[in-house]
Structure 1
Amino acid sequence: MTTPQEELLPGTRRALLHRIAVAQSEGRTPSLVAAVVRDGRTVWHGARSCVDGEVPDENVQYRIGSITKTFTAVLVLRLRDEGLLDLGDPLEKHLPGTGAGEATIAELLAHTGGLAAESPGPWWERTPGALRPHLSDVLGEQPLLHPVGRRHHYSNPGYTLLGSLVEKLRGEPWEDVLRREVLEPLGLNRTSGQPRAPHAGGWAVHPWADAMLPEPAEDLGLMAPAGQLWSTTADLARFAVFLLRGDDRVLSASSVREMRTPAAPAETADVVDGVAYGLGMQLINWDGRLLVGHSGSLPGFLATMLFSESDDIGAVVLTNCTSGPMPALIAGDLVRIVAEAEPRIPVPWRPLKEVDPAVLELAGQWYWGTHAVALRVAADGLVSLEPLSGRGRRSRFRANGDGTWTGLEGYYAGELLRAVRRPDGTVDHLDLGSFVFTRQPYEEGADVPGGVDPEGWRGIG
């Protein structure tokens, strides 16, 4: 459901419109549409120029290219959550005979399977999928260019394999599975494999003249799971909300969080650009703000869907030209404009409903060797450990119900935190994955591995 645009301040709406107007004009594209979501709802839609003589609204379809990969990744994670596969399984276990079977499903999702970026033969984006009727036509005689699992190398054939995996385990075509399991539950009624009116046509704009050439819109056949879909700003805005919050009808919040967690070693160029890759999702460091989503392109179309979890703001940008504007830059700017003009209002602070004396006893200052940290107890039931000053290891911890806590992020993700008590019940120290935290630096009498020098702290004359 789209909420009134008045939810954004007039100055913010004008700044958003100005950004896409500049992008459409300077990028020389026939049309450009965009949407912004905040707090789980669409709060703005903008469009510049025309499609078939009309200003396009949020329901006009554009081809979204590789954003399709994120939809395919959702289908694979559903198979995992149902227990039909493990992400660590080699592809060969479920889809034998491809020649790329040693790559795991997780590696294919993260583009670390060693596969080539493109399919051999004619330019697959501009030729019919009927020219590649078999996986061997998509992969070629030597599918692997790099050692499996050692390098992030973006691969369209890798997502062809994942689409074929979905078809093998579901026993029906990829698009039918996608419609039933993702599109219909999320209400993405204007997302489809083939264009449905109203939709934009794809154009190439001459680089040195204000002239245009229509681009072909081919059915990609087996390559469809890598880039076939058409969609709208309204549908992609809803999809972005799902990828941020989860929806138990499709994927849980924990599974979509796993998708947007870095899973691939970055190339040197990617490190410079601040780009990483999760499981079917790109992660971009945009001026210190982490944006997650995916971009896409096919001849005649460019697309981007990005969101900032910390700001709870997302943006979708679609345009119908082969090159010109840069949707990822535009989407990043749209998120920034809203985040800076109308920063997120924090939820009200509230105290704990109940105070557990055994937990409250642990709150306060601790030392790992000579590093000072603070343990805090939050109203949401989590505890956190973080440096008292400066940068360093930090994490929140979830209670396990037995007096221990499990780390949720960073260096301590998955690690166990527990209070070690003396025979009289008082706390001797905290144990965090074997690291000892004491109330004083190398506290005398505490059970510190290696012991504490009995002469204590001293100066050197």
Structure 2
Amino acid sequence: MSTVAERLDRMVRRVQAHSRVPAISAALHRADRPLWTCTVGGTGNDTALDPETTFRIGSVTKTFTAVLTLQCRDDGLLDLDDPVGRHLDLPAHGELTVRRLLSHTAGLQREPYGDVWDTLRAPDDERLLADLARAERVLPSGRRYHYSNLGMALLGRMVGKLRGGTWAEVLTERVLTPLGLTRTTVTPGRRAATGFLVDAYSDEARPEPPTDFGAVGPAAQLWSTAGDMARWAAFLADPASLDAAGRVLAPSTLDEMRWPVTVTDETLWSGGFGLGLILVPQGERVVHVGHDGAMPGFLAGVYGRRGGEGTAAAMGCAVLLSSGTAGEALELPHRLLAAAVEHDPAEIEPWRPGAPAPAPLRGLLGRWWGEGYEYVFSWHDGALRARGADDPAGKPPAVFAPVPDREDVFRTVSGREAGELLRLTRDESGAVVRMHWATYRFTRHQETFDRYDFRIGE
């Protein structure tokens, strides 16, 4: 019977052979197992292919620029709803907001002005801004998803200006070094694979020319190893497990980045975009979060896994390819993550007794009715929670936290009605006789909206 590692190896080898990829490097990171890696093929140059070989990761770079942008927000340097022109001196499009540029809903054209993909000469910072007035806003801002490398380039320049350095300097100081991503760089280095275009009708693999994306670097410049990128994917999915102190970004901020802002297809809701992150639902309340990348001669898929039974802490996968024409291979990171969970699920943590609910809350635990539906309020892991009585097991509960200096008032911190207040009303004996959650009345028995005795507890 094959081991899990052998299963994963075979999946990678099958893709390399069937998709005709000169070199493929894959890695799977999880908190409860050693890093798994697999390489197949050759670099196309005089260096050996191994887990230390670097590949161009293309638009996966955008996830780093997005994290740098949210760092600036958390440090009070900007607001996501600021117009970008508040932080950059721009000749045009300064009214577009940071949030819409991050989520690709600003309507800005895809590339900088000019035929960049014909010349393979990207503009420098001065030219990027000088030509900005010639770039179109091809859609009304906020109308729909429209991918834009130009928009991410502007955010990268903004981050550098706010931090007093270049985008590359800020990236190294504030993300790569703290997370130990030592093999992730803006230049290929000595151990880089050569990128190829594989001919559609023969076995010829033609090398693609090297490219430097200049001022558009914050959208697509980086090189990395599969191991570094699997760790990065794990951070995007589960930052608390890799950065417990929040040196790079608070887990709550990653939660915000992962919240879907838009779908990428209006009729097929199979993928969405958050703040700089691609979201790919997998069913059963599982989502893969990360990004794909494509540059001449290279493809990359970098995703972390969230949710679902068997998913380990800090679980991320990266697949890097030295072919620009093997698009079907970008499904592989999703398949590797699913296979790892299926054949090697995380251990089930045993339940242990915990502390009881505080005395003032014990009487409210149990079943309540609101809007004609039944809910169960309980105390677990040191917090008051609520679930619909018919909720499926995997649906997260609403979680409440006390509001300081307001007795019997709680804030919903996650789940249903997040942000809304829960207010308790007690009778003369101190028993909770009704509650108001998001202003809706909750009672111990099912009631119509007009059956309400205002005298109780008033």
TM value normalised by structure 1? 0.89
Tell whether the 8 Å contact from 1:374 to 1:388 is kept in structure 2 after alignment: yes
Q: 1:348 aligns with which of 343, 347, 350?
A: 350
Q: Any idea what SS the aligned residue of 1:272 has?
A: coil
RMSD: 2.4
Alignment of 1:219-230 (within 5 A): 219-230=212-223
What does residue 431 of structure 2 align with? 426
**Is 1:416 matched with 2:421?**
yes
**What is the letter of the counterpart of residue 85 of structure 2?**
E
Aligned counterparts of 2:378 and 2:355: Cα–Cα separation in 1: 16
Of stretches 115-124 and 332-341 in structure 1, the one that deviates more from structure 2 is: 115-124
**Is 1:265 matched with 2:266?**
no
Q: 1:276 aligns with which of 272, 276, 285?
A: 272
What does residue 38 of structure 1 align with? 30
Q: Following TM superposition, by how much is the alpha carbon of 1:137 offset from its aligned partner in structure 2, in angstroms?
A: 5.7
Q: Following TM superposition, by how much is the alpha carbon of 1:274 offset from its aligned partner in structure 2, in angstroms?
A: 1.3
What does residue 451 of structure 1 align with? 451
**Is 1:245 matched with 2:239?**
yes
**Is 1:195 matched with 2:188?**
yes
Q: 1:12 aligns with which of 4, 27, 41?
A: 4
Q: Any idea what SS the aligned residue of 1:346 has?
A: coil
Alignment of 1:16-415 (within 5 A): 16-39=8-31, 42-51=34-43, 52=45, 56-124=49-117, 127-130=120-123, 133-136=126-129, 139=132, 141-243=134-236, 244-246=238-240, 247=243, 248-262=246-260, 264-269=261-266, 272-288=268-284, 289-310=286-307, 311-312=311-312, 313-378=315-380, 380-390=381-391, 395-400=397-402, 402-415=407-420
Of stretches 409-418 and 62-71 in structure 1, the one that deviates more from structure 2 is: 409-418
Question: Could you tell me the percent identity over the aligned residues?
Answer: 35
Tell whether the 8 Å contact from 1:117 to 1:154 is kept in structure 2 after alignment: yes
Q: Deviations over 1:68-91 (max 9, x none)?
A: 001111111111111111111111
- Relative to 1, partners in 2 of residues 1:240 and 1:41: Cα closer, same or farther, differing over 3 Å? farther
Q: Following TM superposition, by how much is the alpha carbon of 1:119 offset from its aligned partner in structure 2, in angstroms?
A: 2.5
Q: Following TM superposition, by how much is the alpha carbon of 1:146 offset from its aligned partner in structure 2, in angstroms?
A: 1.2
**What is the letter of the counterpart of residue 239 of structure 2?**
R
Of stretches 190-199 and 345-354 in structure 1, the one that deviates more from structure 2 is: 345-354
Tell whether the 8 Å contact from 2:90 to 2:129 is kept in structure 1 after alignment: no
Tell whether the 8 Å contact from 1:294 to 1:306 is kept in structure 2 after alignment: yes
Tell whether the 8 Å contact from 1:62 to 1:232 is kept in structure 2 after alignment: yes
Tell whether the 8 Å contact from 1:29 to 1:325 is kept in structure 2 after alignment: no
Aligned counterparts of 2:327 and 2:152: Cα–Cα separation in 1: 26
Kindly tell me the number of residue pairs found equivalent between the two proteins.
437
Aligned counterparts of 1:405 and 1:362: Cα–Cα separation in 2: 13
- Relative to 1, partners in 2 of residues 1:286 and 1:203: Cα closer, same or farther, differing over 3 Å? same
Aligned counterparts of 1:360 and 1:441: Cα–Cα separation in 2: 21
Q: Following TM superposition, by how much is the alpha carbon of 1:130 offset from its aligned partner in structure 2, in angstroms?
A: 4.4
Aligned counterparts of 2:232 and 2:396: Cα–Cα separation in 1: 31
Q: Following TM superposition, by how much is the alpha carbon of 1:385 offset from its aligned partner in structure 2, in angstroms?
A: 1.6
Of stretches 108-117 and 349-358 in structure 1, the one that deviates more from structure 2 is: 349-358
What does residue 436 of structure 1 align with? 441
Q: Any idea what SS the aligned residue of 1:165 has?
A: helix
Q: Following TM superposition, by how much is the alpha carbon of 1:43 offset from its aligned partner in structure 2, in angstroms?
A: 2.8
Tell whether the 8 Å contact from 2:357 to 2:379 is kept in structure 1 after alignment: no
Q: Deviations over 1:115-164 (max 9, x none)?
A: 11222312348612247742346645243111112312111101011011
Of stretches 176-185 and 340-349 in structure 1, the one that deviates more from structure 2 is: 340-349
**What is the letter of the counterpart of residue 418 of structure 2?**
A
**What is the letter of the counterpart of residue 450 of structure 1?**
D
Query: Which residues of structure 2 form unaligned runs of 5+?
Result: 454-458
Aligned counterparts of 1:176 and 1:11: Cα–Cα separation in 2: 42
- Relative to 1, partners in 2 of residues 1:253 and 1:161: Cα closer, same or farther, differing over 3 Å? same
Q: Following TM superposition, by how much is the alpha carbon of 1:383 offset from its aligned partner in structure 2, in angstroms?
A: 2.6
Q: Deviations over 1:39-83 (max 9, x none)?
A: 276531011111246662222100000010011111111111111
Q: Any idea what SS the aligned residue of 1:135 has?
A: helix
Aligned counterparts of 1:397 and 1:411: Cα–Cα separation in 2: 8
**What is the letter of the counterpart of residue 272 of structure 1?**
L
Q: Following TM superposition, by how much is the alpha carbon of 1:180 offset from its aligned partner in structure 2, in angstroms?
A: 1.1
Aligned counterparts of 1:203 and 1:15: Cα–Cα separation in 2: 27
Q: Any idea what SS the aligned residue of 1:128 has?
A: coil
Tell whether the 8 Å contact from 1:73 to 1:280 is kept in structure 2 after alignment: yes
Q: Deviations over 1:412-451 (max 9, x none)?
A: 1111123221233221212111011111101xxxxx8633
- Relative to 1, partners in 2 of residues 1:198 and 1:138: Cα closer, same or farther, differing over 3 Å? farther
Aligned counterparts of 1:394 and 1:336: Cα–Cα separation in 2: 21
Aligned counterparts of 1:390 and 1:83: Cα–Cα separation in 2: 39
